[in-house]
């Protein structure tokens, strides 16, 4: 399974989402590759992704995808991320 975390530059928000998603997945016992990337590289990374993690401002820029787009409001809230990943992966 592959999860892609995106933000504008591919280092800030996406890096935080990547690290927190890896923590949450570990607690849930789910194996997945989590990749952080910028919006411009999204389609190169996300063609085989099951989930795309993003902030609200990038949702419309994602465009057509077969992945579940999960909007995260608070990047540091692992409880929010847990609920949203469980729903997307369940």
| pLDDT, tens digit (0-9, with 9 covering 90-100), for 7-65 | 876 568 889 999 999 999 999 999 999 999 988 888 888 889 999 999 998 899 898 88
Dihedral of the CA atoms 68, 39, 26, 31 (nearest 10)?
60
pTM for the structure as a whole:
0.90
Q: Is 69 exposed, middle or buried (0-12, 13-18, 19+ CB in 10 A)?
A: middle
């Amino acid at each position: 399974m592959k999860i892609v975390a995106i933000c504008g530059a591919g280092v800030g928000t996406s890096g935080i989402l990547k690290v927190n998603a890896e923590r949450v997945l570990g607690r849930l016992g789910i194996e997945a590759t989590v990749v952080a990337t910028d919006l411009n590289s999204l389609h190169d990374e996300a063609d085989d992704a099951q989930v795309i993690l993003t902030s609200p401002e990038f949702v419309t820029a994602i465009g057509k995808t077969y992945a579940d787009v999960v909007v995260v409001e608070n990047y540091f809230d692992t409880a929010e991320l847990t609920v949203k990943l469980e729903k997307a992966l369940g």
